[in-house]
C-alpha cells in the first residue's frame, strides 16, 4: 500500500516524479574517483550506473575503477602518510574527526535523502543512520587521545615500554545495506589511529561515500582518504591483494570475507571481518506479548531485513505461540510498504532486483519443502510499486531447521518461526548455524535472560530490545560471522601495531 498522510494511494508516476525531483537536488556533482584529493576518471574510462531501487530509474553514472586506479589510490595514501599524516598528532586528528561529524550533521537531510534514493531504506531510517554516522565520528574523536602504551615491569636496569603505531595504508570495503553508516564505522577508527585509507564502496550504493568526500574535501590532507568506486572483482579484489595495503577491513558476506582473508594471507596482512548472520530471537513464555511482537518486528523487518544482525530465526515458547503469531502476522501485514521518501513508509524496496530474486528463491524453496507461508512470500500487489524492488514481510512456519532457508542468510524480510518447550533443545537449535553475529532474548525474568545470553553463541546478545548500537559497545561475530570488533575503543587497537621498546639502563 502506498499512501501519503491518509490520502488515496499514489500512482507510479507520482512516485517517480518525487524521486526525480529529489535526485536533482541531492545527487552530488562530483562522481569521479577521489584520489589524492582530486576527482579523477577511471584509468579504463569505463563507467557504470547506480539505480533507484524504488523506481528502477538511473540515479547517476559513476567511474568503474580497476586495479590501476587502486594502485593510484594506494600510492596517494602512502604519500600522504609518509609526508604528513604520520606526523599529525592525536589532538589534531581529534579536531579533524569532530569537523567531519559537524559536516555530516550540517547536511543531514541531504545525506538521508540521497541514502534513501540509492539504497531504498525509509527516510526515517536513513535519518537515523546519518545521525549515528556523525556520532560515530564524534565518539572516535574522543577515543583518539586514549591510545596509550604501557610500561612493563622488569628485572634489572632496563625499561620496557609499548607504543601503538598505525599500519599506514589500510583498505576498507563496505556493503550496500548501510552505506554511510558503514563508511563511518570503518573510516573513523582508522583515522583516529593515524592511518590513511583507500575505501571501496559497494557498487550498488556509492553515492553517500562520494558526497561525504565532497563535503570534507577541505578538512583532511590530500590522500588521507581515497575512494575508488567500481565492481568487486575489478576494484575490491585488487585492493585486497595490493602489497601496499597493510590492513584490510571488510563488511559483507561470509563467502567474500573468506576470499578477503585468503588474499590477505598471501602477504600476511592484518584483517578485520564483519560477515554474515542468521541470528536467533528467543521469546520466553513470560514475555509481554505486545513488547515481544514489537521487538520481533524491529529484529527482522528493520531496513527491509537487509541487516547482518537480523533476527531471522524466531524461537517462541509453545505456551504463547498461537497468540504471538496472530499478533505478529497482523503487525507484518499492517506495515506500510511504499515510497521510502515518505515519512509514513515503514518498508521500502530491497536494494536491487537481484536481491528480490534471491530472497524469493529461498521462500520458494521453503514452500516446495512443505513449509507454511503465514503471510508475504511475494512482491506486494500494488501497481505503483511494480517498477521497484519490493518484497512483502514474510513469516514461515513448519520448516525443518536444517533447511537452507534456515541455515543460510537470506538478507531480506523473511522470518522462520519455531516453537519450543524444552530449553536445552531450543538452545541447541539456536546455536546450530555457522554464524554467531547477534541474538536476542525477550523475558521479564533476569535470571533466564542472563543464562540465555551466556548460552547463545553470538558476539552481541540483546535482551528485551534489538538492533541497538550505542557507541562504545563492541560489535563483531563468533564463528563464521567475523574477526575483530568494531564501534568501540578496542577497534582503534585493531588499526594499530604494538611495538615493544626494551631499553638497557646499564
**β-sheet bridge partners, residue 47:** 63
What whole-number distance in Å separates Cα of residue 361 and Cα of residue 137? 39
Active site residues: 274, 308
What pLDDT band is residue 7 in, cutting at 50, 70 and 90? low
Express each pLDDT in 318-334 by its tens digit: 999 999 999 999 999 99
Task: Sort 253 into a burial class: Cβ within 10 Å, 0-12 / 13-18 / 19+.
Answer: middle
Asked if pLDDT for residue 79 goes beyond 70, the answer is: yes
For the domain made up of 12-275+483-499, give the CATH fold: Aldehyde Dehydrogenase; Chain A, domain 1 (3.40.605)
Asked if pLDDT for residue 3 goes beyond 80, the answer is: no
Domain ranges of the chain: 12-275+483-499, 280-470
Express each pLDDT in 310-320 by its tens digit: 999 999 999 99
Q: Which CATH class is domain 280-470?
A: alpha beta
Q: Per this entry, what is the length of the chain?
A: 506
pLDDT at residue 506 in the model:
87
Work out the widest C-alpha separation in the chain, in whole angstroms: 86
Task: Sort 130 into a burial class: Cβ within 10 Å, 0-12 / 13-18 / 19+.
Answer: buried
Contact by Cβ (8 Å): 387, 12: yes
* Confidence (pTM): 0.96
SS3 293: helix
Contact by Cβ (8 Å): 249, 270: no
pLDDT at residue 54 in the model:
98
Express each pLDDT in 428-461 by its tens digit: 999 999 999 999 999 999 999 999 999 999 999 9
Express each pLDDT in 368-402 by its tens digit: 999 999 999 999 999 999 999 999 999 999 999 99
Closest-CA residue to 485 (of 494, 476, 498, 477): 476
Amino acid at each position: 500500500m502506498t499512501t501519503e498522510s491518509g490520502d488515496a494511494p499514489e500512482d507510479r508516476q507520482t512516485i517517480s516524479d518525487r524521486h526525480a525531483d529529489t535526485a536533482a537536488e541531492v545527487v552530488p556533482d562530483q562522481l569521479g574517483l577521489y584520489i589524492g584529493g582530486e576527482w579523477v576518471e577511471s584509468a579504463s574510462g569505463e563507467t557504470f550506473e547506480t539505480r533507484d531501487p524504488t523506481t528502477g530509474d538511473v540515479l547517476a553514472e559513476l567511474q568503474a575503477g580497476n586495479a590501476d586506479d587502486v594502485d593510484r589510490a594506494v600510492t596517494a595514501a602512502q604519500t600522504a602518510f609518509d609526508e604528513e599524516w604520520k606526523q599529525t598528532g592525536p589532538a589534531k586528528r581529534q579536531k579533524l574527526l569532530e569537523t567531519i561529524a559537524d559536516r555530516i550533521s550540517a547536511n543531514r537531510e541531504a545525506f538521508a535523502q540521497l541514502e534513501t534514493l540509492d539504497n531504498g531504506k525509509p527516510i526515517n531510517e536513513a535519518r537515523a543512520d546519518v545521525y549515528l554516522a556523525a556520532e560515530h565520528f564524534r565518539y572516535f574523536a574522543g577515543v583518539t587521545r586514549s591510545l596509550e602504551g604501557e610500561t612493563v615491569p622488569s628485572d634489572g636496569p632496563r625499561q620496557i615500554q609499548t607504543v601503538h603505531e598505525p599500519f599506514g595504508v589500510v583498505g576498507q570495503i563496505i556493503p550496500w545495506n548501510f552505506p554511510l553508516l558503514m563508511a563511518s564505522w570503518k573510516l573513523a577508527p582508522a583515522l583516529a589511529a593515524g592511518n590513511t585509507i583507500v575505501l571501496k564502496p559497494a557498487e550498488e550504493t556509492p553515492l553517500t561515500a562520494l558526497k561525504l568526500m565532497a563535503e570534507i574535501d577541505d578538512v583532511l590532507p590530500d590522500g588521507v582518504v581515497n575512494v575508488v568506486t567500481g565492481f568487486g572483482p575489478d576494484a575490491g579484489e585488487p585492493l585486497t591483494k595490493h602489497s601496499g595495503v597493510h590492513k584490510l577491513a571488510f563488511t559483507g558476506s561470509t563467502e567474500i570475507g573468506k576470499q578477503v582473508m585468503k588474499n590477505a594471507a598471501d602477504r600476511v596482512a592484518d584483517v578485520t571481518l564483519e560477515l554474515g548472520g542468521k541470528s536467533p530471537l528467543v521469546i520466553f513464555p513470560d514475555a509481554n506479548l505486545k513488547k515481544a511482537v514489537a521487538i520481533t518486528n524491529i529484529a527482522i523487518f528493520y531496513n527491509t531485513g537487509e541487516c547482518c544482525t537480523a533476527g531471522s530465526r524466531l524461537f517462541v515458547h509453545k505456551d504463547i505461540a498461537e497468540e504471538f503469531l496472530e499478533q505478529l502476522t497482523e503487525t507484518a501485514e499492517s506495515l506500510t510498504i511504499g515510497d521510502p521518501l515518505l515519512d509514513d513508509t515503514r518498508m521500502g524496496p530491497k536494494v536491487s532486483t537481484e536481491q528480490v530474486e534471491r530472497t524469493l528463491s529461498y521462500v520458494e524453496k521453503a514452500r516446495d519443502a512443505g513449509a507454511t507461508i503465514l503471510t508475504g512470500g511475494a512482491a506486494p500487489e500494488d501497481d505503483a510499486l511494480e517498477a521497484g524492488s519490493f518484497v512483502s514481510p514474510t513469516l514461515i512456519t513448519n520448516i525443518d531447521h536444517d533447511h537452507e532457508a534456515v541455515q543460510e542468510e537470506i538478507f531480506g524480510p523473511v522470518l522462520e518461526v519455531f516453537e519450543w518447550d524444552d530449553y536445552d533443545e531450543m538452545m541447541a537449535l539456536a546455536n546450530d548455524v555457522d554464524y554467531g553475529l547477534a541474538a536476542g532474548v525477550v523475558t521479564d525474568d533476569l535470571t533466564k535472560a542472563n543464562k540465555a545470553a551466556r548460552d547463545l553463541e553470538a558476539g552481541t546478545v540483546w535482551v528485551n530490545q534489538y538492533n541497538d548500537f550505542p557507541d562504545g559497545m563492541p560489535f563483531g561475530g563468533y564463528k563464521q560471522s567475523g574477526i575483530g570488533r568494531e564501534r568501540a575503543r578496542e577497534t582503534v587497537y585493531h588499526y594499530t601495531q604494538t611495538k615493544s621498546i626494551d631499553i638497557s639502563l646499564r
